[in-house]
């Protein structure tokens, strides 16, 4: 629901440059898949969008204002690990959203607002298929259930932008397909802008409306960390390109990790 | 390699003494490494009791031997002597003051102990969370806490007695000062170890600094805080008894040091056992408290 504009973004840790000359404009409602080899800075890019880290130089605009340099409810996040609060049961995890929202001195809503928050939480649990697990702690939920809970929790916060950091990286292939369907449905319902980091190129093509490849274009053999990665390939997907093995193979070759045939299989599923 | 294992297995079946003369087919019993051999509930109980039994028997023998030589020996009193001395203190009012000494001592000591540890716990919770969660407070207070941590508390005792008098305040302050700095550091560390993902997520859900303390940090450090208190109770007893030994008119530590002058081992030993019992009960209660307050941190017991 908000556009993201990134211009001339650069990120360095001391002497080591991770990202450089990153320019991208995402229209509201787009689904961006970020792929690239490990350690190429795509997660750093996501953390900058989240506000957990700040760019060394360049401009990031979310909506029509420069990004606020700390995490805010404008941008929701689902991590691969530590995605939900382990000290709260499933339903408490969802109620927490209303509690935090209220901002009161007790960090908790009461009375009629609590009842409506509870109804909303129950409905959301039902929506993501966790109604039977409402009173379980995350430790006794499976990986897939935890990620479903995490997505439900994030969506209850009604973010304009949804950030996903390898959300399905630790899940079994079967569960992963299930999660893809859920995420696609929720994205269609809510219509927010999504930025997803993934290792799985098939997943990137299947879910995204646009695939961005991060890679290093300049190399200094004497000082490998002198240059950072940038966006080397920006592919808008429509029904034709999504299924095209040609594009998939091209991106797979750039990233150099996944075999195109397995990626093709994911896209088809 | 395989042959070696096979021969080892044969050895087991032979030395194991299965009773058969000709073990035509060795039973498929594998000798596990020491670190993998599980202990059943019953044998764990038995093994756990053994050292206690050993100490008790050794004491009984030594005591009986000494008493056989000299009936009025005071160093190793018999269980009966200790029991009667203990009963006297617990049930017979003191001639001079009319108090039941054991209960007066216990009440005075526990009050000091819990007041001191309570103050320390409150300090650990408030300061620890502030230092761990808020960078500005960390920069301001962490150096001080780190330095205070290395001061030997008993060296402060004379200062406390001079500054605060010989009353309860000095003793409670000693206990609190003795255990609080370590607890503050521990809690601060625990808060700093919170996964940054959780803190970031809480902010994206609309948490502010205060509500995150209430709903994220506090519940997350609760199990650690209770562990901290359990660990701090050991030193707390030490400081309590030291303070009571030096300046007091009642208390468990005071009594032990008072009767030491008369070599009254029949009072000292039951008092030590009584203190041990109190400490064990406190510890057990704290474990139960942790299970009740943070069931998520004890998945095995909760389910």
The model's pLDDT over B7-49, given as tens digits with 9 standing for 90+, comes to 444 444 444 444 445 556 666 678 889 999 889 999 999 999 9
What percentage of chain B reaches a pLDDT higher than 90?
69
Task: Return the half-sphere exposure (C-beta side, CA atoms, 13 A cut-off) of residue B293.
Answer: 16
**Cβ pair B203:A101 closer than 8 A:** no
Secondary structure (H, E, C), B227-239: HHHHHHHHHHHHH
Examine residue A192 and state whether it is found in any structural domain, yes or no.
yes
Does the pLDDT at position A265 exceed 80?
no
Q: Read off the pLDDT of residues B107-116 as tens digits, 9 standing for 90 and up.
A: 999 999 999 9
For helices B265-293 and B218-246, the axis angle rounded to 10 degrees is 170
For residue B302, give how far its alpha carbon lies from the nearest alpha carbon of chain A (Å). Answer: 11
**Cβ pair B204:A73 closer than 8 A:** yes
Q: Read off the pLDDT of residues A140-149 as tens digits, 9 standing for 90 and up.
A: 998 889 998 9
Chain B residues near residue A97 by CB distance under 8 angstroms: 205-206
Could you tell me the strand order of the sheet in which A229-236 lies?
A65-66, A57-62, A4-13, A16-26, A229-236, A210-216, A31-36, A193-197, A161-165, A75-78
Angstrom distance (rounded) from CA B116 to CA B180: 9
Q: Read off the pLDDT of residues B180-195 as tens digits, 9 standing for 90 and up.
A: 999 999 999 999 999 9
The pLDDT mean for chain B works out to 88
Chain A residues near residue B294 by CB distance under 8 angstroms: 87
CATH of the domain at A69: 3.40.50.300
In this prediction, residues A79-104 reach a mean pLDDT of 91
Q: How confident is the model at residue A259 (pLDDT cuts 50, 70, 90)?
A: low
pLDDT, residue B218, reads 95
Examine residue A108 and state whether it is found in any structural domain, yes or no.
yes
Does the pLDDT at position A171 exceed 60?
yes
Q: Which domain holds residue A127?
A: 85-158
pLDDT, residue B6, reads 46
| A154, A164: one domain | no
Chain mean position to CA B201: 37
Q: How confident is the model at residue B73 (pLDDT cuts 50, 70, 90)?
A: confident
**Cβ pair A100:B195 closer than 8 A:** no
Q: How confident is the model at residue B96 (pLDDT cuts 50, 70, 90)?
A: confident
Q: How confident is the model at residue A216 (pLDDT cuts 50, 70, 90)?
A: confident
Neighbours of B205 (CB within 10 A): 28
DSSP reduced 3-state for A102: helix
Lowest mean pLDDT among A175-184, A220-229, B53-62, B64-73: A220-229
| A125, A208: one domain | no
pLDDT, residue B13, reads 44
Q: How confident is the model at residue B167 (pLDDT cuts 50, 70, 90)?
A: confident
Examine residue A215 and state whether it is found in any structural domain, yes or no.
yes
Q: How confident is the model at residue B130 (pLDDT cuts 50, 70, 90)?
A: very high
Structural domain total, chain A: 2
ipTM of the complex: 0.88
DSSP reduced 3-state for B199: helix
Does the pLDDT at position B247 exceed 90?
no
| A172, A218: one domain | yes
| A141, A164: one domain | no
**Is the distance from CB of A35 to CB of A198 less than 8 angstroms?**
yes
| A27, A150: one domain | no
**Cβ pair B295:A101 closer than 8 A:** no
Q: Which residues on chain A place their C-beta less than 8 Å from a C-beta of chain B?
A: 50-52, 70-73, 75-77, 79, 81-83, 85-88, 96-97, 99-101, 103-108, 137-140, 153-154, 157, 159
Q: Read off the pLDDT of residues B250-300 as tens digits, 9 standing for 90 and up.
A: 999 999 999 999 888 999 999 999 999 999 999 999 999 999 999 998 876
The pLDDT mean for chain A works out to 86
| A137, A239: one domain | no
Residues paired with B90 in a beta bridge: none
pTM for this model (two decimals):
0.83
Q: How confident is the model at residue A232 (pLDDT cuts 50, 70, 90)?
A: confident
- Chain A contact present for B301, CB below 8 A: no
Examine residue A21 and state whether it is found in any structural domain, yes or no.
yes
Domain boundary among A98, A123, A158: A158
Report the sign of the C-alpha dihedral through residues B263, B264, B266, B272, in that order. Answer: negative
| A66, A91: one domain | no
* Phi-psi category of residue A14: left, alpha or beta, with phi > 0 → left and psi -120 to 50 → alpha: left
Angstrom distance (rounded) from CA B39 to CA B34: 11
pLDDT, residue A81, reads 87
B positions 219-248 inside 8 Å of A (CB): 219-220
pLDDT, residue B111, reads 95
Domain B101-302 of CATH type 1.10.3720.10: yes
What percentage of chain A reaches a pLDDT higher than 90?
39
**Is the distance from CB of B241 to CB of B256 less than 8 angstroms?**
yes
Angstrom distance (rounded) from CA B271 to CA B256: 7
| A154, A166: one domain | no
Pairing outcome for strands A161-165 and A193-197: parallel
Examine residue A47 and state whether it is found in any structural domain, yes or no.
yes
Domains of chain B, by residue range, sit at: 41-76, 101-302
Domain boundary among A136, A158, A180: A158
Tokens of B269: 């030993």
Quick one: A77 exposed, middle or buried, by C-beta within 10 A (0-12, 13-18, 19+)?
A: buried
Examine residue A79 and state whether it is found in any structural domain, yes or no.
no
Q: For chain A, give percent helix, strand, coil, nearest 5.
A: 40, 25, 35
Does the pLDDT at position B235 exceed 90?
yes
| A56, A167: one domain | yes
Q: CA-nearest residue of chain B to A161?
A: B204
């Amino acid at each position: 629901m908000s556009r993201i504009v990134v211009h001339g973004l650069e990120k360095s840790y001391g002497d080591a440059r991770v990202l450089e000359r990153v320019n991208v404009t995402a229209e509201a409602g787009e689904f961006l898949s970020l792929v690239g080899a490990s350690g190429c800075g795509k997660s750093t890019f996501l953390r900058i969008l989240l506000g957990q880290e700040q760019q060394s130089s360049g401009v990031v605009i979310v909506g029509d204002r420069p990004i606020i340099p700390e995490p805010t409810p404008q941008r929701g996040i689902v991590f691969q690990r530590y995605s939900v609060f382990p000290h709260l049961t499933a339903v408490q995890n969802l109620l927490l959203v209303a509690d935090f929202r209220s901002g009161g001195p007790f960090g908790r809503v009461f009375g009629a607002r609590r009842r409506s928050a509870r109804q909303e939480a129950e409905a959301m649990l039902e929506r993501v298929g966790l109604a039977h697990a409402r009173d379980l702690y995350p430790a006794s939920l499976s990986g897939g259930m935890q990620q479903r809970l995490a997505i439900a929790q994030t969506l209850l916060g009604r973010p304009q932008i949804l950030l996903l950091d390898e959300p399905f990286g630790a899940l079994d292939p079967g569960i992963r397909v299930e999660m893809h369907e859920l995420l696609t449905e929720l994205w269609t319902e809510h219509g927010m802008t999504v930025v997803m980091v993934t290792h799985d190129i098939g997943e990137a093509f299947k879910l995204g409306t646009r695939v961005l490849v991060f890679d290093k274009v300049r190399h200094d053999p004497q000082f490998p960390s002198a240059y950072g990665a940038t966006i080397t390939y920006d592919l808008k997907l429509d029904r034709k390109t999504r299924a095209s093995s040609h594009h998939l193979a091209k991106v797979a070759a750039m990233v150099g990790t996944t075999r195109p045939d397995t990626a093709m299989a994911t896209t088809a599923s | 390699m395989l042959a070696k294992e096979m021969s080892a297995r044969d050895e087991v079946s032979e030395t194991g003494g299965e009773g058969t003369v000709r073990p035509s087919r060795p039973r498929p019993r594998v000798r596990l490494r020491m670190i993998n051999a599980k202990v059943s509930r019953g044998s764990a109980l038995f093994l756990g009791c053994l050292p206690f039994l050993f100490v008790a028997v050794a004491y009984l023998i030594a005591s009986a031997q000494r008493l056989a030589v000299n009936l009025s020996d005071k160093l190793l009193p018999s269980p009966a002597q200790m029991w009667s001395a203990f009963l006297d203190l617990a049930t017979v009012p003191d001639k001079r003051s009319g108090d039941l000494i054991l209960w007066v001592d216990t009440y005075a000591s526990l009050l000091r102990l819990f007041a001191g540890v309570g103050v320390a716990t409150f300090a650990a919770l408030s300061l620890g969370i502030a230092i761990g969660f808020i960078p500005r407070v960390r920069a301001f207070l962490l150096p001080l806490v780190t330095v205070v941590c290395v001061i030997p508390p008993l060296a402060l005792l004379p200062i406390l007695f001079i500054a605060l008098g010989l009353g309860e305040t000095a003793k409670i302050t000693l206990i609190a000062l003795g255990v609080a700095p370590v607890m503050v550091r521990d809690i601060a560390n625990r808060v700093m170890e919170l996964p940054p993902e959780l803190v970031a997520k809480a902010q994206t859900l609309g948490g502010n600094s205060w509500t995150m303390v209430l709903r994220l940090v506090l519940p997350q450090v609760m199990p650690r805080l209770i562990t901290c208190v359990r660990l701090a109770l050991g030193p707390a007893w030490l400081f309590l008894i030291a303070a009571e030994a030096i300046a007091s008119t009642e208390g468990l530590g005071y009594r032990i040091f008072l009767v030491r002058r008369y070599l009254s081992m029949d009072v000292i030993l039951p008092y030590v056992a009584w203190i041990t019992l109190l400490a064990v009960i406190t510890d057990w209660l704290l474990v139960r408290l942790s299970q009740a307050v943070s069931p998520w941190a004890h998945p095995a017991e909760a389910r």
